[in-house]
Amino acid sequence: MLRYLNQCSRGRGAWLLLALTALALELTALFFQHVMGLKPCVMCIYERNALFGVLGAGLVGAIAPKSPLRLAALALWIYSAWEGLRLSYEHTMIQLHPNPFTTCDFAARFPSGLPLDKWLPSVFLASGDCAERSWTFLTLSMPQWMIVVFAGYLLVAALVLIAQPLKPKRRDLFGR
């Protein structure tokens, strides 16, 4: 299996699949926001940013999957999945154990050179309450589902990282 993951990481298809899954989740978040009227909170916006990191990793990996750029994409993928998992867990704890002393910020804190909430407010402007559970599916709230998503991304990324030193299996006409 690890050799197969190594082989997949050296092709564009797997990287594009990674980018496509992250894009589908981003579009789902925008559907929830703009069609269903669910207001994203600050933690939701930060989790979106982590998803954009996974999307970016997929695109970077697809650019040159056989070069060392693949390892930079893998590093971005692991970092984004880890941060997304951390943020989703923190968001879930805010929802499950509401506390007036533990709340999220009123507005997302972006670097002054990258004010995403000013440049693209329809995607990055937070207006919801982090403690509110406005949507559930199979008894899990949105941040709980994001824990599942980011844990899956992180698990696959860790397996791909472990597989990197392995040589891809050579196939010849006689199967040796």
Residue 41 falls in the annotated catalytic set: yes
Which amino acid belongs to residue 97?
Answer: H
**Does the pLDDT of residue 33 top 60, yes or no?**
yes
CA dihedral 69, 70, 74, 80 (to 10 degrees): 50
Q: Taking the CA atoms of 126, 129, 130 and 134 in sequence, report the sign of the dihedral they define.
A: negative
Mean predicted lDDT score pLDDT of the chain: 82
Whether the per-residue pLDDT at 151 is higher than 90: the answer is: yes
What pLDDT is stored for residue 36 in this prediction? 86
Q: Which of 130, 133, 171, 176 is catalytic?
A: 130
Q: What is the DSSP letter of 146?
A: H
Annotated catalytic residue 8: no
Extract the runs of DSSP E, i.e. beta strands, from 116-170.
Answer: 136-137, 140-141
Which of these is catalytic: 8, 48, 133, 170? Answer: 48
* Annotated catalytic residue within 70, 104, 133, 171: 104
**In 10 A of CB 100, how many CB atoms?**
6
| Residue 27 pLDDT > 80 | yes
pLDDT in tens, 70-118: 888 989 999 999 999 999 998 888 888 877 766 677 767 777 777 777 6
Domains of the chain, start order: 1-162 (1.20.1550.10)
Q: What pLDDT, in 10s, does the model give residues 118-133?
A: 686 777 777 767 777 7
Catalytic residue among 10, 12, 41, 133: 41
